[in-house]
């Protein structure tokens, strides 16, 4: 009997999106990102040169874009059509979204890369202009770190969307 029970939490699109964006734009997020940057800079001196405020804005930008990607790919079609602009229209998103990560799926395919490797490459170009990803050194290791993180981030947010029953309010 338990196999057929729907355990998904019902939530409206607006509630779901606001919860995700509230996390991305929270002080807790910023503090965690600052701590992560400090830890990364111990292993990768090249990242110690990054301006913390620019780094935080770019992290909010890319994490928002990954959440948007998970939302777009996993929301029921009717909800997606009706609420497709819900995140984009948020003033916090408008403040950080540069558009650089738009069309990441097709752009990654055109570049012959997987999506999250492509996102990692773009992110590194934003925070470390002129960084050398193909040199086999710290640039490659940092690239792999971000690529793996963005893959996990997407999977987490994908499961968040799938774990809820998004209902039109």
pLDDT digits (tens, 9 = 90+) for 84-117: 999 999 999 999 999 999 988 899 999 999 999 9
In a domain? residue 12: yes
Number of domains in the chain: 1
Please return the burial class of 50, using the count of CB atoms within 10 Å of its CB with bins 0-12, 13-18 and 19+: middle
For residue 117, give its domain range: 7-166
pLDDT digits (tens, 9 = 90+) for 2-22: 455 456 888 999 999 999 999
In a domain? residue 1: no
Q: Please state the separation of Cα 145 from the chain's center in Å.
A: 14
């Amino acid at each position: 009997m338990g196999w057929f029970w729907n355990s998904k939490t019902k939530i409206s699109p607006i509630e779901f999106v606001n919860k995700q964006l509230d996390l991305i734009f929270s002080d807790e997020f910023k503090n965690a990102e600052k701590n992560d940057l400090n830890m990364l800079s111990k292993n990768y001196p090249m990242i110690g040169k990054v301006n913390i405020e620019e780094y935080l804005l770019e992290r909010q930008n890319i994490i928002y874009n990954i959440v948007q990607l998970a939302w777009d790919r996993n929301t029921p079609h009717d909800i997606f059509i009706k609420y497709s602009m819900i995140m984009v229209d948020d003033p916090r998103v408008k403040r950080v979204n540069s558009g650089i990560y738009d069309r990441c799926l097709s752009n990654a395919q055109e570049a012959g890369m997987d999506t999250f490797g492509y996102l990692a490459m773009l992110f590194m170009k934003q925070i470390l202009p002129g960084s050398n990803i193909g040199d086999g050194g710290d640039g490659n290791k940092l690239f792999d770190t971000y690529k793996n993180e963005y893959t996990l981030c997407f999977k987490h947010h994908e499961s968040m969307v799938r774990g809820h029953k998004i209902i039109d309010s």
